[in-house]
Chain A
Amino acid sequence: KAGVTQTPRYLIKTRGQQVTLSCSPISGHRSVSWYQQTPGQGLQFLFEYFSETQRNKGNFPGRFSGRQFSNSRSEMNVSTLELGDSALYLCASSLGRNTGELFFGEGSRLTVL
């Protein structure tokens, strides 16, 4: 069974640009969560999608957004990039909304210059 796939794995952007990251969950998993990991703040929850609807959101500004498609694939977008957005962005899929058992991808490492 294929795991969670995230693309791209690495990318470099400049301040003010926007970026879109993609996540394909494990087949059959309907919940997709996004996390940001930085050396200073550790792993922080961004948002969770289930059945194409955002179900839960962390404490991040509106520049961070996401969506989920009918096939459960998800994208997250960060607009007007800031230097502090440099991070590893991790996607996790789960069979259900409230299981707590998440399966993470390898992440997309974003560098903002």
Chain B
Amino acid sequence: DAKTTQPPSMDCAEGRAANLPCNHSTISGNEYVYWYRQIHSQGPQYIIHGLKNNETNEMASLIITEDRKSSTLILPHATLRDTAVYYCIVRVVGQTGANNLFFGTGTRLTVIP
């Protein structure tokens, strides 16, 4: 699986957009980008995933660069409840072991009032 690199921590003002970057320069053509987050003392929560097109759901948007070497998770209007560790993961869908996710250390996002 391709490795991912994320900044260890970020701050964001409440109500502003939070843009969380992820570098995955060795991603292969059939690997998807997944984002999860973990709020303190809770289980990780699936946010979104994509292959090469930008994706949006009720929680966030995922922007993947054209060369697919990096992506950005966007929380459009961050709230205090978005304070969490965010994990960027790359994984091949449909391959045996796709549910074996490597979470890494993630980015600790702190939303400031």
Contacts and interface: CB of A to CB of B under 8 A. Distances in A.
Given A33-B99, A33-B100, A98-B94, A106 B32 contact: no
Nearest to B102: A45
Given A92-B43, A100-B32, A106-B42, A42 B96 contact: no
Contacts of A99: 93, 98-99
Contact of B99 (A90, A102, A105, A107): A102
Given A104-B43, A104-B44, A94 B99 contact: yes
A55 B96 contact: yes
A75 interface: no
A73 interface: no
9 contacts: A42-B104, A90-B43, A94-B99, A97-B99, A100-B91, A100-B101, A104-B44, A107-B42, A107-B43
A56 B99 CA distance: 9
A24 interface: no
Given A100-B32, A100-B34, A105 B100 contact: no
B42 A103 contact: no
4 closest cross-chain pairs (CB), A and B = A104-B43, A98-B98, A43-B103, A45-B100
A31 B97 CA distance: 11
A58 interface: yes
What is the predominant secondary structure among interface residues of chain A facing chain B?
Answer: strand
A48 B101 CA distance: 11
Q: How large is the interface on B (under 10, 10 to 19, 20 to 34, 35 or more residues)?
A: 20 to 34
Q: How large is the interface on A (under 10, 10 to 19, 20 to 34, 35 or more residues)?
A: 20 to 34
B65 interface: no
Contacts of B101: 43, 45, 100, 102
Interface string B16-46: 0000000000000000101010000011111
Interface string B36-64: 10000011111001000000000000000
Given A94-B99, A97-B96, 11 more contacts: A43-B44, A43-B101, A45-B102, A48-B99, A92-B43, A98-B97, A98-B98, A100-B91, A103-B46, A104-B44, A107-B43
